[in-house]
Chains A and B, each alone.
Chain A
Amino acid sequence: MTAMQRLLQLPVTAVNMVKTVQSQVQGQEEDKSPVLTPDGVHQAWYSALQPDELRHLRSGAPVTISVSGMNQSIESQEWLRVSTARSTRFQSDATIALQEQGGSTKRIPLLVCELTGLIPVSLTGKEAESCFNWVTDTFGVSGKKAVILIKWVKILHDDLKEMLDSNKDSLKLEAMKRIVAMIARGKNASDLFPAVVKNVACKNIEVKKLVYVYLVRYAEEQQDLALLSISTFQRGLKDPNQLIRASALRVLSSIRVTIIVPIMMLAIKEAASDMSPYVRKTAAHAIPKLYSLDPEQKDQLIEVIEKLLADKTTLVAGSVVMAFEEVCPERIELIHKNYRKLCNLLIDVEEWGQVVIINMLTRYARTQFLNPNMNESLLEEGSDKTFYGSDEDEDEEEEEKEKKAEAPMAKRKPYVMDPDHRLLLRNTKPLLQSRNAAVVMAVAQLYFHLAPKAEIGVIAKALVRLLRSHSEVQYVVLQNVATMSIKRRGMFEPYLKSFYIRSTDPTQIKILKLEVLTNLANETNISTILREFQTYIKSMDKDFVAATIQAIGRCATNIGEVRDTCLNGLVQLLSNRDELVVAESVVVIKKLLQMQPEKHSDIIKHMAKLTDNIQVPMARASILWLIGEYCEHVPKIAPDVLRKMAKSFTNEEDIVKLQIINLAAKLYLTNSKQTKLLTQYVLNLAKYDQNYDIRDRARFIRQLIVPTEKSGALSKYAKKLFLALKPAPVLESPFKDRDHFQLGSLSHLLNAKAGGYQELPDWPEAAPDPSVRNVEVFTLLERVTTLTSVPEWTKCSSREKRKEKKVEKPFYSDSEGESGPTESADSESDSASGSESGSGLEESGSGSESEESEEGSESEEEEEEEKDKKKKKKELKKPVQESESEQSSEEEVRKHERKNKQRKSDSESESDEEEESESESSQSESEDSESEAEVKKKKKVAEPKPPSKPVKKECKKEKKEMSLLDLDDFEPAPSPQATPLNTFLSSSLVNDLEGLSLSDAVLSPATISPSSTLKSYELLHRITGEGLSVEYCFSRQPFPPDGNMVAVQMQFTNNATSDAKNLHMEDVKLQSGMRVKEFTEIELLPAGETATAVMGIDFCDSTQAANFQLCTHTRKFFVSIQPPVGELMRPVFLTENEFKKEQGQLMGMNEISEKLTLDANCRNEHSIVQRVITAANLSRVPCGSDKECRFAGRTVTSSSLVLATVASREEGAAQLTVNCEKMVIGTMLVKDILLALTQ
């Protein structure tokens, strides 16, 4: 009888057999017949099996079985004993044996079933299936049937073994599928290990895969047998195909067998230097596996991690950082050298890797950079308070504090953000747009923990977006928003309505939203929020209603104005029909009343009445406490309440009883005449209470309040003890101070440290040496950068080669033929150039860009015939064409926009522009080709030579732009132009006139020429710039191409030994609304020389930095320009009267004034003017009094008026007043001028 035959026949017999058994057993007591009735069919069936069954049972391993939470291990010996019992006593033996193991009789069938891995899927055929179902349905009745089933399953396993041993792949596959299905259902299939492991070298991929699955699952239990498979994997590690190498490593490292640790270590080390990035990625994955298997390998593994961290491919980055986090998160120094690379690669890493990297970098940044908010925190907190604070006394105190705080602040040098810190913030920001909620959350927490206060706002929108995702995502995000909203309320205020609650939200989401709404409540929005709350109170979801009532209570305590409204509302709720609502309201009202009890005796009276109806103990206790505490306010009612309570004392809950005792004690002290007897009575009742707390309390209170000889001194103070003024409770958010956990982490969510959580370190006091992140290996860098600048070319040529070989494989797929460096370089160039991740594949597709342009398509046909030389030429051209077309298309877009704005169209101007764009593109062309390692000669288009001297250049520029601007004013000048030079700009007469009048003012001796007071800032340090240093200053000259732009003059100095070429800027990253006019490229900067250039930036009246890359022919540097607020304005001339008039219109919120003490060297008018003008680009306004200096200006972009007044008093005291409708500018300006005058 073959196994197959058995399989097909047996179930049917089994069914019949079991049915007979059942019919016999039915109605009988179970334990009465442990022995199966002799039954011919049955006997024949299982005696036929016995030899087989025994054989494999002997190889059985220890089995773990679980029944509803209880783990029981049954030794295989024991089991063997059970199942080898031969006679008809077989079943009873099994039962007994299992009973010995501690299972109750009822559980035995279940245990047996678990033990054998009994599952329906391992049967084939409909009959078998239905048979099984039937048996399992009747399972709870008798242990015997289960035992029969054991037999049955054993046969099936035998059948599986036979199938695995067969030559047919299809049979093997079928068997493996059934086995995997067993595993998936959590059934034990370990006894098949020897049969399965034989197939590890099977040719069929699917069988092999399933064998791997099995192996990984059971190798741990069958270590010796698992070793048989190792050689197969070792062979796989040497396979020429990278995918096979990777999968061999993956399985090998997943087998948790300690003996092979050395083999794994070796394999990982080898794979870490594999030329395929995919294999390296797999190696990174294997590291934590090995670490968890044998933590002693840590040191060696760290070496591998260090090596892999230096990897330049996006594929590896995420995985290796994951390994780093699991193995050695404390070795933060390993990140230094890779920090910038990780930041730059980040956007192209797969999403899961991004999360891990961002979280790690957050921690890293906290150890390496300075707190960007350290200077602001003091000042801004103060202003926040003055804005919202209710008590005026507090304000004054605050102000004083502020002043005190300012002294050290003034000494502290202004905070400058480390460019690496900026790099991190800039490169993570786009990821807020990720579709993956985890990535968005990771960036959000990074910004929350690392960004300057002014920049955090960007994350709010993204987080609110996540609220539209699945409810689990909402749950996590809301928890984090709740924490954030406590610290940075302003951030989420605009999104208040997004937190409104819908009746269909799950309760847990509702409660979290409520939390956020409560955190966001302030004077301005409280009325809307309360109106919302009002609808919530009517909800059917009672838990939610209770939470709403508490939220109202919190709003009432936090915002004084609405306290009475809230209280009234809550009192109304006291007549609600739902007892829970009433009870919750009572508890909250109690807390509120504690704040100002004298006003609300009628509410207390009202509540006293409620004692008749409310049954919720907490609420009753609250009412009693209230009455006791404020019994003076309700002198008549209180004793009556006590009377009622004394009556029902014995039936009350414990907390209520305690409060009754309290009430009695307090009444006794205040009104002993009426309540003496009652109190005695209550205390007597309490004395014999069942609860010892209550007995205790009664005894204690009796001693305290009833004066006897023994009671001593304490009773004198009883009144003081009981009727002391109790501070009102502070209703706080449960999310307060949760932000010491890294947001988005599991620990934050649970508000408890989870295993493996890495603390978020505090900011360092002083920044550690930033140079540790400089990558020294210059040769390496050079290789990368040169590749960066010519990626297209490299790719083209490699594609070319392939074309010649007529290989149609996609570009990235076959790395076998390729050498490691090229591969890594490719992907590096992708990301380093900041290009879209797909750019590599644009090329790899069979079609190419060349087809777009006509020239290209021609070349396609010619290509075959043409000789190599020509081909190369073409290749060289291509990228150039691309860039050209791209640029021109951009130009077109811009033009289009401009056209719309143009009032008078002018062909000349357009052609001018075209010329310009052409020359631009030709510039870039030349630059491209130059960087292309001078392979071919470039065809030079006549281009304007960059002037070597700044003055000349400026003249030229002006000229050119002037003609442009004269003809079409594409930026309709929005404001009176302030400075003499830009009179060209003015398009209207009025502007002209204003400009003229101003130029007079500038010429007049009253103002001081600002040029003498220019301050320069460092853009690029000599060391980071590898010899190139750049300084910039705000020249305060008008920037003629665009009146809204601030001119920034840059001075380039080449300190290196070699020439710097093609200095230009790229990749400008700006806040929305901001614009940049790039400086003209500096073609050559010989060693030791200096050059100057001017660029214009429209900062949109914000101090947001303009970030861009400064590029030389070899390198790119991330730099940023952040303007002091004083540079965001231009001087404007006003007469004294005008000034006063304007000032009169900018009062109230728009006026900020500060008292200050002038610096000793700065007490005369001249020095004041000097210092103010240095700090801000303002012009002086004539003034009658010599005690006052007035200044006026307009912001560059929006032309908002900025007025500043410094009025000096005796002994250096002075008052600074700034009027500006842009309050942010005003506040910042005050800060800056204050600094300038006091230092």
Chain B
Amino acid sequence: MIHSLFLINQAGDIFLEKHWKSVISRSVCDYFFEAKEKAVEPDNVPPVLQTPHHYLISIYRDKLFFLSVIQTEVPPLFVIEFLHRVADTIQDYFGECSESLIKDNVVTVYELLEEMLDNGFPLATESNVLKEMIRPPTILRSVVNTLTGGSNVGDKLPTGQLSSIPWRRAGVKYTNNEAYFDVIEAIDAIVDKSGTTVFAEIQGVIEACVRLTGMPDLTMTFMNPSLLDDVSFHPCVRFKRWESERALSFIPPDGNFTLMNYHVSSQNLVAIPVYVKQNISFFETGPCGRMDITIGPKQTMGKTVEAMMVTIHMPKAVLSANLTATQGNYTYDLANKVLVWDIGKLNPQKLPNLRGSLSLQSGAPKPEDNPSLNIDLKIQQVAISGLKVSRLDMHGEKYKPFKGVKYLTKAGNFQVRT
């Protein structure tokens, strides 16, 4: 299956390599560099490349390329999903997945990779099992380790991989037992020039942070489960119970995890929380253009819209922007031609407005297309679909845990065409 893995930074340096079978020379990456060169944008590098003797499957995450070398037939998604799992694990261990952090913890990363695959086939990918074998570094531990010469490899034998529920480690103990759930919904929408919604849907995710002693068995029920159209679960969720009762029944992993992803059925109309009035025009005569954007609340369920942000990828010809914002600040990144207007809280009484002129490269033809606006926003304490958790019950343990559910709505892929 997976033969080797190379971690490559944006500049094209290989800074980590791991081989699970015999060693493959890193020269194999040259094919990848060639493709990378051709693609210009790192996003556009084809994830699967064919070379005379190998296949290269890569992902691009956090400005790093994870490039795996394959020799025989394997489902490409298998590899891609695994590589993302590796990136997730690194992020889980070190807080973020960046070159410098990986370089600082190169031995830990190498050990992790060693445990995650055996002969190229995934062995242990559950973070709870991995953490039992290789402890994630913490400041306290690194201090203790340097003083005592201790190590970050678990001294007990990892029993998690033997259990039939590999996602939960055994013998969890907490003084404060708590279980928090965040219901986060993202609105994906395309709004066209005239303000009509071309396409809108709601993606939801329930992120959980569970710190409970022992082996708790949780059941979560919803007030309106019929809203959920399509769901995918963490492996801990018992599918049967869901099918028969629409209740989530599970023994949770310890710590943070994604309990479930869902999609709200498309029959329900999606409430679009804001409207955008925009006018962007470029003039034929003279190297300039005008821009005028106003944002107002539409259906916000009576809550305030926060963290509003508008991102515009300008045409290449736009040299600079001379704008005034009635609220928030804007920045224009000259190199990437990205205009970001950070608005903050949306005040319904005084609608934020950004207007002014854009100057174009002289001599360049006027851009034909107006750039589309990408909207970011957050609405606290409401799930825009109306989904509500009705209760959370715990069985199997004696203590009373502290439970909490938080709702949040944000903009996902929210695009306004102009």
Chain A residues near B (Cβ < 8 Å): 64, 66, 68-71, 121, 168-170, 173, 177, 180-181, 183-186, 204-206, 209-210, 213, 217, 220, 241-244, 250, 253-254, 256, 276-278, 282, 285-286, 288-289, 292, 314-315, 319, 322, 347-348, 350-352, 355, 359, 430, 433-438, 440-442, 461-462, 464-465, 468, 470-473, 475-477, 497-498, 500, 502-504, 506-508, 532, 535, 538-540, 576-578, 744-747, 749-750, 752, 754-758, 810, 812-813, 815, 827, 830, 834-838, 840-842, 844-849, 851-852, 890, 893
Contacts and interface: CB of A to CB of B under 8 A. Distances in A.
Given A181-B106, A213-B110, A437 B46 contact: no
A544 B228 CA distance: 34
Contacts of A440: 232
B258 A435 contact: yes
A180 B121 contact: no
A244 B43 CA distance: 44
B258 A292 contact: no
Interface stretch (B47-55, B272-280, B288-296, B383-391): B47-55
Interface in B131-146: none
A276 B163 CA distance: 11
Contacts of B229: 461
Contacts of A435: 232-235, 258, 261
A540 B367 contact: yes
A206 B145 CA distance: 13
A535 B251 contact: no
Contacts of B157: 241, 243-244
Interface string B66-82: 00001111111110111
Contacts of B203: 468
24 contacts: A173-B151, A180-B111, A185-B15, A282-B118, A288-B119, A315-B162, A350-B235, A352-B78, A433-B233, A434-B235, A438-B77, A438-B82, A440-B232, A472-B58, A472-B59, A472-B60, A475-B48, A540-B367, A540-B371, A746-B73, A747-B73, A754-B72, A837-B165, A845-B396
Nearest to A510: B44
B241 interface: yes
B220 interface: no
A220 B217 CA distance: 48
A1158 B121 CA distance: 62
B365 to A, nearest CB: 6
A504 B374 contact: yes
A815 B161 CA distance: 13
Contacts of A465: 230, 232, 261, 263
B230 A838 contact: no
Contacts of B149: 168-170, 173
Which of A286, A576, A746 is most buried by chain B, counting CB atoms within 10 A of its CB? A746
Which of B14, B164, B313 is most buried by chain A, counting CB atoms within 10 A of its CB? B164
Nearest to B166: A350
Contact of B17 (A68, A185, A253): A185
B77 A66 contact: no
Given A180-B111, A286-B119, A438-B78, 20 more contacts: A68-B27, A181-B110, A184-B18, A205-B151, A220-B23, A243-B159, A277-B162, A285-B118, A285-B123, A436-B81, A470-B80, A473-B80, A508-B46, A746-B75, A756-B71, A813-B163, A836-B239, A842-B396, A846-B214, A849-B396
B357 to A, nearest CB: 20
Contacts, number: 316
Nearest to A812: B163
Contacts of B396: 842, 845, 847-849
B315 to A, nearest CB: 6
Shortest beta-carbon contacts, A-B, top 7: A845-B215, A756-B72, A836-B238, A170-B149, A538-B369, A506-B43, A206-B153
A285 B119 contact: yes
A243 B158 contact: yes
B70 to A, nearest CB: 7
B191 to A, nearest CB: 12
Contacts of B215: 810, 841-842, 844-847
B37 interface: no
Contacts of A890: 245
Contacts of A256: 21-22
B238 A540 contact: no
B84 interface: yes
B121 A749 contact: no
A1036 B33 CA distance: 70
Interface residues of B, number: 117
B22 to A, nearest CB: 6
B161 A278 contact: yes
B64 interface: no
A436 B413 CA distance: 22
A462 B230 contact: yes
B96 interface: no
Interface in B1-41: 1, 14-19, 21-23, 25-27, 30, 41
A289 B119 contact: yes
B76 A476 contact: yes
Contact of A578 (B1, B368, B372): B368
A830 B164 CA distance: 9
Contacts of A812: 159, 162-164
A464 B374 CA distance: 22
A758 B251 contact: no
Contact of A836 (B201, B216, B240): B240
Contact of B198 (A497, A540, A749, A837): A497
A184 B5 CA distance: 10
Which of B14, B78, B417 is most buried by chain A, counting CB atoms within 10 A of its CB? B78
A472 B49 CA distance: 12
Contacts of A438: 75, 77-78, 80-82
B106 A497 contact: no
Nearest to B199: A497
B73 A840 contact: no
Contact of B21 (A185, A292, A471): A292
A577 B368 contact: yes
B333 interface: no
Which of A181, A184, A502, A538 is most buried by chain B, counting CB atoms within 10 A of its CB? A184
Contacts of A754: 55, 72-73
B92 to A, nearest CB: 15
B256 to A, nearest CB: 14
Nearest to A753: B73
Contacts of A170: 149
A43 B209 CA distance: 63
B201 to A, nearest CB: 8
Interface in B325-383: 365, 367-369, 371-372, 374
A276 B71 CA distance: 32
Interface string B100-111: 000000110111
Given A241-B157, A810-B159, A845 B214 contact: yes
B385 to A, nearest CB: 15
A319 B119 contact: no
B155 to A, nearest CB: 6
Interface string B148-188: 01011111011101111110101100000000000000001
B114 interface: yes
Given A747-B73, A810-B171, A180 B110 contact: yes
Contacts of B315: 540
A210 B153 CA distance: 10
Contacts of A253: 119
A812 B170 CA distance: 10
A461 B230 contact: yes
Contacts of B250: 838
B221 to A, nearest CB: 10
A276 B159 CA distance: 12
B409 interface: no
